[in-house]
Amino acid sequence: MSIQTCLRCKGPCVHHNHEGVIIDRCSSCGGAWLDQGELEAIVESRENSQPASMVQETLKQAQAGIPEESQKDQVACPKCAMNMKVVNYAYDSGVIINVCPSHGIWLDSKELEHIEAYRDHWKSEASKRRAEWSEHIRPGSTDGATGSGLLHFLRSLL
Ligand SMILES: [Zn+2]
Ligand SMILES: [Zn+2]
């Protein structure tokens, strides 16, 4: 489904081709609505890398953790009107996204780029350290209670 009105600033949303996936992006604030599965399609099919500066910015954000104001940054799902869950992408990326488990994801301005940068960074780490990591992140290995989200994320990169 597509949305016409931005969930954040009520500006007009337009169809935007992001690496081959059509998303709805607000033309005033840059926020984006992604239907279920579209984020996965983008991160899996992408060919362009984010510049190093974006990777740096993203990693700095990951170290800083969740900013407190994000806790109250809720928006309602445009389809079911439920408040979307505020989630830290890949558990500790520091990229805070809004998720409706049934319908899709809301990303504020630059969050899509931050997610891509985060994946770029870990993907290149993963290719360098595949051997060292493989024992810990092979499918079926026991996830620690705290690390399961990150392990799942790293596995998806290998
Ligand atoms: Zn907007
Ligand atoms: Zn919904």
Cα gap 7→3, rounded to integer Å:
9
Distance 111 CA to ligand 1 centre (A): 13
Q: Which ligand is nearest to the CA of 101?
A: 2
Going residue by residue through the chain (158 aa), what tens digit of pLDDT does each one get? 789 999 999 999 999 999 889 999 999 999 999 999 999 888 887 777 888 888 888 888 777 766 666 555 789 999 999 999 888 888 788 888 999 989 999 999 999 999 999 998 988 888 888 777 776 665 554 544 445 566 677 777 76
Question: How high is the pLDDT of residue 43?
Answer: 84
Which residues fall inside 5 Å of ion ligand 2, going by CB? 77, 79-80, 100, 102-103
- For the chain, which residues make up each domain, given as ranges? 13-127
Distance 31 CA to ligand 1 centre (A): 5
Q: Which ligand is nearest to the CA of 82?
A: 2
Q: Which ligand is nearest to the CA of 25?
A: 1
Q: Which ligand is nearest to the CA of 27?
A: 1
Distance 3 CA to ligand 1 centre (A): 11
The reported pTM is: 0.79
Question: How high is the pLDDT of residue 70?
Answer: 58
Closest to 6 (Cα-Cα) out of 116, 86, 113, 98: 98
Question: How high is the pLDDT of residue 139?
Answer: 56
Question: How high is the pLDDT of residue 136?
Answer: 65
Which residues fall inside 5 Å of ion ligand 1, going by CB? 6, 8-9, 11, 26, 28-29, 31
In terms of Cβ atoms closer than 10 Å to its own Cβ (0-12, 13-18, 19+), residue 1 is exposed
